[in-house]
């Protein structure tokens, strides 16, 4: 990776992290208010509709943003053809979802679901018609614009939902939140990018784009299904209230992903695409990003699991207590997420579309089997099934990454050895410390003490036991920070 691309990539990661962090702070404050006003059933009903929309959005976008980012120099006609293809798919899926709403309400035994789905159906079209603008933004590394629009959209949608919830609109408050968010995101993309399609539509071009895009969309759909399938199964077998509890736990997990790994994804995909002809540079970039993801995500996930009783109860209220155990179980996925998360981007950026679909199919089948089996043990069993799924899938995925790209599983695991060791030592130390305290020691002061103590233990183990790799990761991140801040962090690292 050239120094210019490296700096551009890391700046993008920083902006996406800051933007996502701001978005999540806003989103979480809003969710805290809405969770207390609405309760588990409302979140369960909207959860089912959201999963269906998420699945259809992958189809409506048809993998075209990724195709346009991956290709070298798409022409105006290429972009216009992609736009009209997305527009057609989005329109058809919106109509399909609207008409199927009564049947879906019967399947899930939830009368409110019909109205919720019908109101949320236009999201399919809104998401589809901004696919080309999103690709153009990502191609030029304009991630600052991405970050700012996400924060604004989340805030506007949340304020709308709170006002409606206070005035007794119930579940429709969450529907309005989604519609305002998607509408603003679409409008802002059109405003920022300043691109409009021409009337050109080439069947041959569309066929070529969809050939690759459909594989990407199918792989993304299967990848999303590994997680979201659990929601649908819980909603069907255990009801919307149980799904509401799971949605809060998932939301906590999403927060952790958004604060650690997810902001890297769009930026890293663009960088991988630029490095596709330099195998050695691509391998170094892939291993480095796995190392960074593990360093940031492992302590965040496992530490949150330890303070989950305070995290859930203090933020959302005592009525959400069943979500505590679910979140604690789901945080165990942190051992596998860094190893799996960037693999689709690596394959797509290098044109290995079929391999992505193949591996996602394997993961999907493992997920279906684990979910069906473990769901029989209740909602906590369903959460545990997701951890088992990832544990089974990880060695399979590492094997195929080595087979298709030459990046060895040993090299990959070596990159996460330090973070895993430090995180395990931190978690076991904090667990012993917490269990040694009297039962009266709880609440926010205890959570704050555990966070501070955990951070000190984790950083100390990284620097003392795995200094070379830690300093390597540190240099990578500090290269994009202002000089004064970089110098401050370097002095702190020198203490070890």
Please give the structure tokens belonging to residue 184.
Answer: 């603003």
In a domain? residue 479? no
Is residue 54 in a domain? yes
What is the rounded CA–CA span in Å between residue 346 and residue 283?
9
Any domain includes 418: yes
Say if residues 165 and 230 touch (Cβ distance below 8 Å): no
- The answer to whether position 12 is within a domain reads yes
This model's pTM is above 0.75: no
Note whether residue 481 is domain-resident. no
The answer as to whether 475 is a domain residue is no
Report the b/e string of 425-462 with b at 16+ CB within 10 A: bbbeebeebeeeeeeeeeeeebbebbbeebeebbbebb
Please state the separation of Cα 282 from the chain's center in Å.
Answer: 23
Q: How many domains does the chain have?
A: 1
Q: Tokens 């087979």 identify what position?
A: 403
With respect to residue 480, please indicate whether it lies within any of the assigned structural domains: no
Q: Helix H segments across 350-443?
A: 353-375, 379-405, 409-435
Q: What is the DSSP string of 34-93?
A: HHHHH-HHHHHHHHHHHHHHHHHHHHHHTTHHHHHHHSS---HHHHHHHHHHHHHHHHHH
Considering the domain boundaries, does residue 193 fall inside one?
yes
* Residue 55: HSE in the Cβ half-sphere, 13 Å Cα cutoff: 15
**Tens-digit pLDDT string for the chain (496 aa):** 455 545 545 444 554 454 455 556 667 778 778 888 887 888 888 888 888 888 888 777 777 777 887 776 788 888 899 889 989 989 999 999 999 999 999 998 889 999 999 999 999 899 888 888 888 877 665 555 566 677 788 889 989 999 999 998 989 999 999 999 999 988 988 888 878 888 888 888 888 888 878 777 776 677 665 667 777 878 888 788 888 888 888 888 887 887 777 766 656 656 676 666 777 888 888 888 888 889 989 999 999 999 888 888 877 877 888 889 999 999 999 999 999 888 877 887 777 777 877 887 888 888 878 878 888 888 889 889 889 988 998 999 999 889 888 899 999 999 999 999 999 999 999 999 888 887 766 777 888 888 899 999 999 998 888 877 777 766 655 554 445 544 544 554 444 4
Q: Which domain holds residue 380?
A: 3-465
Evaluate whether 11 touches 254 at the Cβ level (below 8 Å).
Answer: no
Contact 75, 83 (CB under 8 A): no
Cβ atoms 261, 268 nearer than 8 A = no
**Interhelix angle for 308-316 vs 240-260, to 10°?**
110
């Amino acid at each position: 990776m050239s120094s210019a691309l490296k700096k551009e990539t890391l700046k993008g990661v920083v902006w996406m992290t800051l933007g996502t962090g701001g978005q999540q702070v806003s989103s979480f404050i809003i969710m805290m208010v809405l969770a207390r006003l609405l309760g588990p059933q409302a979140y369960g009903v909207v959860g089912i509709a959201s999963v269906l929309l998420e699945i259809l959005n992958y189809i409506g976008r048809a993998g075209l943003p990724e195709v346009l980012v991956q290709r070298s120099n798409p022409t105006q006609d290429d972009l216009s053809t992609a736009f009209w293809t997305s527009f057609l798919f989005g329109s058809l899926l919106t109509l399909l979802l609207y008409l199927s709403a009564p049947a879906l309400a019967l399947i899930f035994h939830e009368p409110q679901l019909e109205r919720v789905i019908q109101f949320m159906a236009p999201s399919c079209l809104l998401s589809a018609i901004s696919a080309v603008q999103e690709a153009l933004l990502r191609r030029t590394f304009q991630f600052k614009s991405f970050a700012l629009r996400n924060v604004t959209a989340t805030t506007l949608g949340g304020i709308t939902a709170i006002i409606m919830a206070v005035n007794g609109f119930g579940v429709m408050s969450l529907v309005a939140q989604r519609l305002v968010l998607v509408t603003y995101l679409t409008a802002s993309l059109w405003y920022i990018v300043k691109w409009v399609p021409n009337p050109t539509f080439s069947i041959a071009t569309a066929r070529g784009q969809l050939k690759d895009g459909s594989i990407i969309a199918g792989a993304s759909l299967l990848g999303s299904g590994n997680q979201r399938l659990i929601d649908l199964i819980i909603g069907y077998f255990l009801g919307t209230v149980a799904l509401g509890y799971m949605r809060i736990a998932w939301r906590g997990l999403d927060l952790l992903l958004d604060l650690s790994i997810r902001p890297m994804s769009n930026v890293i995909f663009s960088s991988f695409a630029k490095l596709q002809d330099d195998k050695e540079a691509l391998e170094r970039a892939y291993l480095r990003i796995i190392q960074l993801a593990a360093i940031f995500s492992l302590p965040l996930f496992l530490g949150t699991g330890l303070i989950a009783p305070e995290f859930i109860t203090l933020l959302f209220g005592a009525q959400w207590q069943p979500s505590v155990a679910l979140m604690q179980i789901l945080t165990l996925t942190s051992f596998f997420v860094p190893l799996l998360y960037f693999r689709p981007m690596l394959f797509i950026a290098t044109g290995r579309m079929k391999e992505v679909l193949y591996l996602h199919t394997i993961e999907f089948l493992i997920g279906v089997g684990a979910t069906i089996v473990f769901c029989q043990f209740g909602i906590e069993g369903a959460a545990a099934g997701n951890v088992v799924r990832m544990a089974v899938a990880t060695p399979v995925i590492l094997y195929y990454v080595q087979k298709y790209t030459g990046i060895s599983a040993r090299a990959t695991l070596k990159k996460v050895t330090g973070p895993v060791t430090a995180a395990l030592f931190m978690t076991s130390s904090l667990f012993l410390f917490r269990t040694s305290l009297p039962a009266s020691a709880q609440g926010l002061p205890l959570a704050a003490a555990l966070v501070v103590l955990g951070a000190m233990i984790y950083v100390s183990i990284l620097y003392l036991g795995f200094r070379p790799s830690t300093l390597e990761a540190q240099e990578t991140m500090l290269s994009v920070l202002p000089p004064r801040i970089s110098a401050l962090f370097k002095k702190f690292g020198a203490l070890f």
